[in-house]
Amino acid sequence: MMDILKQPLPWYIAGPLIGLMVPVLLIMGNKSFGLSSSLRHICAVYIPAKIPFFEYDWKKESWNLFFAGGIVIGGYIAGTLLLNSQPVQLSPKLISDLSRYGVTDYQSLVPKQLFNWKALLSIRGGILMILGGFLVGFGTRYAGGCTSGHAIMGLSNLQFPSLVATICFMAGGFITANFILPYILKL
């Protein structure tokens, strides 16, 4: 049993399970699936600074913070008890592309050679972690949602604005991955 649970989930099992979060949260308590709003609630709780955008009754939205906390615990369980001893099966093309930038360790989900405490002080690490994180927070809130809120929840509810947002997420991703990231990795 544990051996089965340690196996990576194929897309045709993982996708439907992720999609089921939509009805599960609605039936649990009329909650719309989405995670980027947790970042807004954290601002509202700790650093509202009299900014109107953060002045609302965050207690009514606190379910989202419990949900996010659960994800951290789930990540811990999956990263310890259910850890797959085999490395992720990546495309040989990606491996050969990345090896040119000195990325050779594919053991972990978060590449240790790029994301570590020491790298934070380098330009490359700073761009990946600090600027990258900033853009995730700024961009998702400007767009009013992220992959879960727009791409999954919004599209599940056939919302046109979510289709626009999802197309833009993908367009931004394509441009960055193919035309900008190679230069950042060379730094």
Partner 1 sequence: MNETDIFQRKEINTDFEVGSLDTTFIPQRKQESWWSYIKYIVAGILFGIILVKSEVISWFRIQEMFRLQSFHMYGVIGSAILTGVISIQIIKRLGIKTIDGERIVLPQKKFHKGQVYGGLLFGFGWVLTGACPGPIFAQIGTGALVIIVTLVSAIAGTWVYGLVRERLPH
In the complex, the smallest distance separating the C-beta of residue 25 from partner 1, rounded to whole angstroms, is 6
Q: What b/e sequence results for 7-27 when a residue is b if at least 16 CB atoms lie within 10 Å of its CB, and e otherwise?
A: eeeeeeeeeeeeeebbeebee
Contact yes or no for 140/147 (Cβ under 8 A): no
Window 2-21: residues binding partner 1 (CB under 8 A): 7-9, 11-21
Write the burial class of residue 158 (CB in 10 Å: 0-12 exposed, 13-18 middle, 19+ buried).
exposed
Window 110-139: residues binding partner 1 (CB under 8 A): 110-111, 114-117, 119-120, 127-139
In the complex, the smallest distance separating the C-beta of residue 97 from partner 1, rounded to whole angstroms, is 7
| DSSP 3-state of 1 | coil
By CB under 8 A, tell whether 45 contacts partner 1: no
In the complex, the smallest distance separating the C-beta of residue 134 from partner 1, rounded to whole angstroms, is 4
In the complex, the smallest distance separating the C-beta of residue 29 from partner 1, rounded to whole angstroms, is 6
Window 47-86: residues binding partner 1 (CB under 8 A): 47, 49, 51-57, 60-64, 66-80, 82, 84
Structure tokens at 23: 């009805």
H/E run at residue 178: none
Which positions from 81 to 110 touch partner 1 by CB under 8 A, shown as an x/- string?
Answer: -x-x---x-xx-xx--xx-------x-xxx
